[in-house]
Structure 1
């Protein structure tokens, strides 16, 4: 028996490490500015954002470090750069809010997941505050406790 993945149909990739290392205060939805070969590679499931982060330059947001592995058959006249910086499409107010929090309050801006919305690629961004080591341990302990509680309830029902 093989386990089914819990990944929704429209989800491309998720950054599970971000939820472990940060407290996510607020989330935003941003579009991605992509080239043609990147869209083809994403449709084939060749995208990862585990080491990606968001930088701000000239009042614009960019996704830095996201890896899209190019397909061999996608394009012959373009030399693909798999980890190029990609522009995030956000409203001006959202960018100003994110920049203010990152610059003044010590927050970080991390990508949480990428998914399809209609035929567009969207990226869920989290305004995050870093966890300390004891916070990570507490989160794991709470998760284990909830899992054990659920197992206990299942045994009682059987």
Structure 2
């Protein structure tokens, strides 16, 4: 049974998704970043206690941090560790990627939004996207397009079933 869990991690199993990001933002470009985590956080992530729904990434002193991601500590966390579930976590990127992101955020008004946390090998990776906020009418257009595609699929299925 332990072997099966290892296979899931090796295949890039998703830990947490930020589904609201696609609804709230136009996602332009995606980057893969490592996450600097503590031991208790890894154990909690393996237990499925991560949530990035209300998180965002911010640039501080030439580095990028994940803010607002919640990793709820396990009850069995050791007594000498004081776990903080919503602490800022450093994201690990190459210097040229950080410089590119800083330029886009500061000059062009983009936002850094985490879209997913996932396993890559035995490491936790965060996918962050350069994003521009959607206006209300953009959200309605996206919803209308999604409903139309769903209806189109229903019609095609019904047509193929009859034929």
User: What TM-score do you get using the length of structure 1 for normalisation?
Assistant: 0.93
SS in 1 for 2:84: coil
Matched, 1:118 2:121: yes
Q: Which residue of 2 aligns with 1:30?
A: 33
Q: Where do 1:98-113 residues align within 5 Å?
A: 98-113=101-116
Matched, 1:144 2:147: yes
Residue 48 of structure 2: which of 45, 48, 55 is its match? Answer: 45
Q: Deviations over 1:78-107 (max 9, x none)?
A: 010000010000011111111111111111
- In structure 1, distance between residues paired with 2:25 and 2:151: 24
- In structure 2, distance between residues paired with 1:63 and 1:9: 20
Calculate the aligned-residue CA RMSD, in Å: 1.0
Structure 1 residue 9: Cα displacement: 6.6
Q: Which residue of 1 aligns with 2:80?
A: 77
Structure 1 gap ranges (5+): 1-7
Runs of 4+ aligned structure 1 residues displaced above 2 Å come to none
Structure 1 residue 157: Cα displacement: 1.2
Q: Deviations over 1:106-130 (max 9, x none)?
A: 1100000000000000000000011
Aligned residues: 151
The answer to whether the 8 Å contact 2:12/2:121 transfers is no
SS in 2 for 1:37: helix
Q: Which residue of 1 aligns with 2:8?
A: none
By percentage of residues, which structure has more helix?
2
User: What TM-score do you get using the length of structure 2 for normalisation?
Assistant: 0.91
